[in-house]
Amino acid sequence: MKPVAPEKLLEIELADADMTARAGGVLASLARPGDILALWGDLGAGKTTLACGFIAALVPAQEAVPSPTFTLVQTYPADIDGQAVEIWHFDLYRLKTAEEAYEVGIEEAFAEGISLIEWPERLGSLLPRRRLDVTLSPLGSGDSRWLTIAGNGDWAGRLAGFRSALLGE
């Protein structure tokens, strides 16, 4: 299941893994409790790199951000504008059924936290329509990626300065 036709808000080339992580950091600066970011892309597309950049921007004391490939979820306490919020990083690649997501707290994450979901297609109809779709596609044989961001609601306004923040303009 690919993204449910939200409005395409941004497309940009990310030159390398560092820029992919920085893109995650810029998204983190725009995030609010209750946000759901669906990270789309094939194996090796850069989803975990972007998620690590996102988490590192909000949880600077975190030494390493492990991929939740085997645990399915990792959580991180963060503070956004003085409000405590939990960041939930899901890697749903190993789910056999969408309903297994309930066992790792997906409902709580959607209700109270900020959710980063790798392999969101594994959720099927459980994937909320109110989300930001972040799609990464490798370009050529190097580390460059094509980033496409689509969403609805107030994301268009929030993303207005994304490109300049990412490029340091």
Per-residue pLDDT tens over the stretch 61-104:
665 666 655 567 889 999 888 889 999 999 998 888 888 888 88
% of the chain at pLDDT higher than 70: 90
Which numeric CATH code is attached to 16-112?
Answer: 3.40.50.300
Give CA–CA dist 85/110, Å, rounded: 12
Residue indicated by tokens 């994450």: 109
One-letter amino acid of 122: R
pLDDT value at position 72? Answer: 77
| Closest to 50 in 3D by CA, of 73, 77, 22 | 22
pTM for the complete prediction? Answer: 0.90
HSE toward the beta carbon, residue 157, CA cutoff 13 A: 2
Q: Which residues contact 36 (CB under 8 A, 6 or more apart)?
A: 110, 114, 115, 117, 128, 130, 131, 132
The CA radius of gyration of the chain, in Å to the nearest whole number, is 15
Domain boundaries, the chain: 16-112
